[in-house]
Amino acid sequence: MRVSPIADELGRRFAAAEHELHLVGGSVRDALLGRLGDDLDFCTDAHPDQTLALLKGWAEATWETGREFGTIGAQKHGLRLEVTTYRAEAYDGVSRNPSVRYGTSLEDDLLRRDFTVNAMAVSLPEHRFTDPFGGLDDLAARRIGTPGKPSLSFGDDPLRMLRAARFAAQLRFAIDPAVRQAMTQMSGDLSRITAERIRDEFSKLLLAEDPLTGLRLLVDTGLADIFLPELAGLRLEIDEHAQHKDVYEHTLKVVSNAAGFDTADGGPDLVLRLAALLHDIGKPATKAVGADGGVSFHHHELVGARMAKARLKALKYPNDIVKAVTKLVSLHLRFYGYGRGEWTDSAVRRYVTDAEEQLARLHKLTRSDCTTRNRRKALQLASDYDALEARIDRIREEEDLARVRPDLDGNAIMELLGVPPGPIVGKAWQYLKELRLERGPLSPEQAQEELRRWADENL
């Protein structure tokens, strides 16, 4: 196994001070998988003050944001290093954050780690390999197991249940049956974890190479019920009179399609994947069966947008992400009907201006939402959207759609109407903007004539 020369150099530095240093956790796992990264994790018998003293003068930068957990960070030649004192952390079954105490040995430290594949160590600088819990065997078998009993591991930190699903999605590993059983039995313990920690772990899962595996685990074990109950709620009952597409399976397919789009365009896009996951969460609340037995979900995009906003806020996502996802969910159905020739240039302008900076994502989400197995229908939908994008490009060449504004500004409105700043100006401005969207650019003379007409009728 390759070990970074920087790691060996640091190991010699700790050994000279009569301290142990071991490369551990994901650094060892990823090295064995041939996935070397820029982050290196270490554990040591040195306490934070001693670690900091050894890093200073050698590292290019150090930070102490993790000191309360025994961790000192450093940077050296482009590598990000974290050195943590042997520790054993546990929850008391009531609090929402771990209590930390220092451990006394490498094996004790490895025992408290989440999974066997993360409980291997390479001692530095001698490169002695330590694997007391069969992590190498689990790595070869592509299996997620725990160093001790799963119930003890998840009792120490319930977030590890969500992390198991995340690793299954990232590494494409299977979950050990005993681990899966404990996840199911203890899923309720996840409620002890702060929304921020759940959000961060869930985001990593959603951005993984295989998010569907992780999402299915969350639903099947009941973990999703704790922080994202809307996901399991998509498994609508299909009755004998009103058969319709399983919204849950459709949603997973949309997430998969979206992941294909964003990966091809430069990397995982959290906003797009969240929008794909949540785009239909309003369907259960809007499901209706008509007299003819047909199923409808009228206005589910608007209901879903409100639900998505509430859920993302509960998970403490930043406001910009909440706003972007909410907009995408609310607009994801707008395209349908375009193929029937009902859209005017005005409708295209509104589509672009309503989407604003989310237009590129809306293109991807709308295309991802096509999951029909009817090849003729799928080809027609793709062709219709190709036509819409071409039409947007044509109108963009003629007009600046990214900055659609009235043909008269506020100052011109006040001068023409002879009014001071106030509500009248705002109403006039909005009228002219609607007119601009409807008819395209107007000459100053046309805009002034329309404004006078509006004023005669409304003032």
Residues 157 and 132 in one domain: no
State which residues form the domain around 88: 1-141
CATH number of the domain within which 197 lies: 1.10.110.30
Confidence of residue 1 (pLDDT cuts 50, 70, 90): low
Higher pLDDT: 193 or 239? It is: 193
Q: What is the pLDDT of residue 89?
A: 57
Residues 168 and 132 in one domain: no
Question: What mean pLDDT do residues 223-233 have?
Answer: 95
Question: What mean pLDDT do residues 94-122 have?
Answer: 83
pLDDT tens digit string along 21-36?
A: 999 999 999 889 887 7
Question: What mean pLDDT do residues 145-154 have?
Answer: 94
Rounded to an integer, what distance in angstroms lies between the CA atom of residue 195 and that of residue 372?
36
Q: What is the pLDDT of residue 91?
A: 55
Residues 305 and 437 in one domain: no
Residue 285 has pLDDT above 90, yes or no: no
pLDDT mean across residues, the chain = 87
pLDDT tens digit string along 44-60?
A: 999 999 999 999 999 99
Number of domains in the chain: 4
Confidence of residue 240 (pLDDT cuts 50, 70, 90): very low
Confidence of residue 337 (pLDDT cuts 50, 70, 90): low
Q: What is the pLDDT of residue 378?
A: 81
Q: Is 179 exposed, middle or buried (0-12, 13-18, 19+ CB in 10 A)?
A: buried
Residues 222 and 262 in one domain: no
Residues 164 and 273 in one domain: no
The DSSP string of 238-255 is --SSS----HHHHHHHHH
Q: What is the pLDDT of residue 317?
A: 98
pLDDT tens digit string along 181-215?
A: 999 999 999 999 999 999 999 999 999 999 999 99
Task: With respect to residue 238, please indicate whether it lies within any of the assigned structural domains.
Answer: no
Residues 29 and 162 in one domain: no
Residue 238 has pLDDT above 90, yes or no: no
Higher pLDDT: 288 or 163? It is: 163
Q: What is the pLDDT of residue 413?
A: 80
Task: With respect to residue 6, please indicate whether it lies within any of the assigned structural domains.
Answer: yes
CATH number of the domain within which 364 lies: 1.10.3210
Residues 132 and 150 in one domain: no
Residues 283 and 337 in one domain: yes
Higher pLDDT: 13 or 353? It is: 13
- How far, CA to CA in Å, does 191 sit from each of 160, 219, 312, 414, 431? 13, 15, 16, 56, 49
Residue 242 has pLDDT above 70, yes or no: no
DSSP state of 173: P
Amino acid at 106: L
Task: With respect to residue 76, please indicate whether it lies within any of the assigned structural domains.
Answer: yes
Residue 121 has pLDDT above 50, yes or no: yes
Question: What mean pLDDT do residues 88-106 have?
Answer: 66
Higher pLDDT: 245 or 414? It is: 414
Residues 188 and 112 in one domain: no
Residues 179 and 84 in one domain: no
Residues 347 and 416 in one domain: no
Residue 290 has pLDDT above 90, yes or no: no
Residue 77 has pLDDT above 70, yes or no: yes
Rama region for 78: left / alpha / beta (φ>0; ψ in -120 to 50; rest): left
Residues 211 and 262 in one domain: no
Query: H helices of 343-443, where?
Result: 345-355, 359-368, 375-398, 410-417, 423-439
Residue 96 has pLDDT above 60, yes or no: no
Is residue 35 within 8 Å of residue 28, measured between CB atoms? no
